Structure 1
């Protein structure tokens, strides 16, 4: 048995060499070699048979971008960025314009509110001048007539006008009905007399007119 597992080898010089290829060592009784070594040898043999690893450039399906494609991609990204910043700038400009409009509108409203409050505080003086004029105390050229003229002129420059005239259609938003008188001569509520005139500054009502109203007779 031992003779079958031993082989004689002859070297190129003609000398005989003895090679013991038995897996079990006759002196120690252990198996020669190891599973790990055999596995490593098998993996190495497999790698050698597979050939060298393919580089990323040689792998199938890997895109190879050219310089022209890269330039086009960069140009497209730049165009998108420019368009985005232009859009942001347009929105910022629109918001600024709206802000300025709101500020100007609020400023104008505050100005009118202040003027309206000043006029409201002076309305009793206007009422007294109207009564004096009805009694003939505001004759032309007198100091009181000059004062009334300047005061009314100042109010007119700010856009103040009277509300409530004889014969106007009654408007509850502008007029306050003190007396209601049925009449066959009217088909809608109509101002019959102005007891106390009202005043408005532009579209802002400062004081409603107190009036007597003719109502349609049933």
Structure 2
């Protein structure tokens, strides 16, 4: 203790002047209260810690959600960039298809010779590197999604709609069809009228033969009254 007793009738001597009330000059009775006030924050120290943990968990979830949104954004931007690039390339290749048609006609007529042949081969090589490819050949099954039928006929030589003539080849870039192939289509020949009649007769049940003689009620079947 900071007090010293000199006798039963003497006032205690206070060594710590911070505990002396300046108005009354007596010792302050706040030791117990101060201890309680100092203990109170210690008892409630767990509450701020719990709030910090909850706040940290919430901020972590926000960061994870933001990171996922940014990743999806990057994927979407890259996908759009690829689509725009493919669309621009397809538009440029479509403008060059008439040139390829002229080169093909010159090759068919034997006019693709000399330096012109070298230029044509170089152009076709560059377009092939860009993903351009031709399609459409005689004997291919007719596919309305990639073929444009300009003529239609029947033929006994086919068993399904078939491309029998290629008027203009088609071109695609990857899975994108830039121009459909223009073709003549033949279907299996229709059966003739005689064949249809024979088939119908073969499928129908045979009718029973009409009985002849008196039992059938034909001529002479009646009784002779004479």
The answer to whether the superposition gives a TM-score over 0.5 is: yes
- Given the two structures, how large is their TM-score scaled by the length of structure 2? 0.62
Secondary structure of the structure 2 residue equivalent to 1:179: strand
Q: How do 1:31-180 residues align onto structure 2 when only pairs under 5 Å count?
A: 70-139=44-113, 142-180=114-152
Secondary structure of the structure 2 residue equivalent to 1:168: coil
Shift in Å, 1:216: 2.5
Distance 1:164 1:84 in 2: 61
Distance 1:71 1:169 in 2: 82
- Given the two structures, how large is their TM-score scaled by the length of structure 1? 0.64
Partner of 1:35: none
Distance 2:64 2:188 in 1: 60
Q: Select between 127-136 and 195-204 the one with higher mean Cα deviation.
A: 195-204
Secondary structure of the structure 1 residue equivalent to 2:177: strand
Shift in Å, 1:144: 0.8
Q: How many residues align?
A: 152
**1:186 paired to 2:172:** no
CA deviations over 1:136-177 (Å, ceiling 9, x no partner): 1123xx111111101111111011111222222211111101
Secondary structure of the structure 1 residue equivalent to 2:44: helix
Distance 2:166 2:138 in 1: 7
Distance 2:43 2:149 in 1: 84
Instruction: Return 5+ residue gaps in structure 2 as ranges.
Output: 1-38, 191-226
Aligned in 2, Cα 1:83/1:181: closer, same or farther, shift over 3 Å? same
Computed over aligned residues only, the root mean square deviation of the Cα atoms, in angstroms, reads 1.9
Shift in Å, 1:208: 0.9
Shift in Å, 1:67: 5.8
